Structure 1
Amino acid sequence: MYNSILVPVDIIEKDLTQKVIPHVEYLAKLSNANVKFFHVLPISSAIINAYSFGMDEFKDQATVQAENWLKKLIHEIDLPKETLSYSLAFGNPRDEILTIAEEIQPDLIIIGSRRPNISNHLLGSNAAGIVRHAKMSVLVIR
Structure 2
Amino acid sequence: MYQSILVPIDIVEKELTKKVLPHVTYLAQLSNANVKFFHVLPVASAIVNAYSFGFDEFKDKATLQAEQWLIELIDHIDLPKENLSYAVAFGNPRDEILSIANELKPDLIILGSRRPNISTHLLGSNAAAVVRYAKTPVLVIR
Q: For residue 50 of structure 1, report the CA deviation from its aligned partner.
A: 1.6
Q: For residue 9 of structure 1, report the CA deviation from its aligned partner.
A: 0.5
Q: Distance in 1 between matches of 2:121 and 2:82?
A: 39
Q: Distance in 2 between matches of 1:123 and 1:31?
A: 37
Cα RMSD for the two superposed structures: 1.1
Residue segments in structure 1 that go unaligned for 5+ positions in a row: none
Change (3 A) 1:107 1:49: farther
Cα shift readout 1:94-122 (whole Å, capped 9, x = no counterpart): 00000000000000000000000000001
Output aligned runs, 1:1-142, within 5 Å.
1-44=1-44, 46-51=47-52, 54-142=54-142
Residue segments in structure 2 that go unaligned for 5+ positions in a row: none
Change (3 A) 1:50 1:33: same
* Amino acid in structure 1 at the alignment position of 2:136: M
TM-score normalized with structure 1 length: 0.96
* Amino acid in structure 2 at the alignment position of 1:56: D
Change (3 A) 1:46 1:103: farther
Q: For residue 46 of structure 1, report the CA deviation from its aligned partner.
A: 4.1
Cα shift readout 1:5-32 (whole Å, capped 9, x = no counterpart): 0000001101000100000000000011
* Amino acid in structure 2 at the alignment position of 1:17: T
Total equivalences in the alignment:
141
Provide the identity percentage: 72
* Amino acid in structure 1 at the alignment position of 2:64: V
TM-score normalized with structure 2 length: 0.96
Deviation larger for 53-62 or 32-41: 53-62
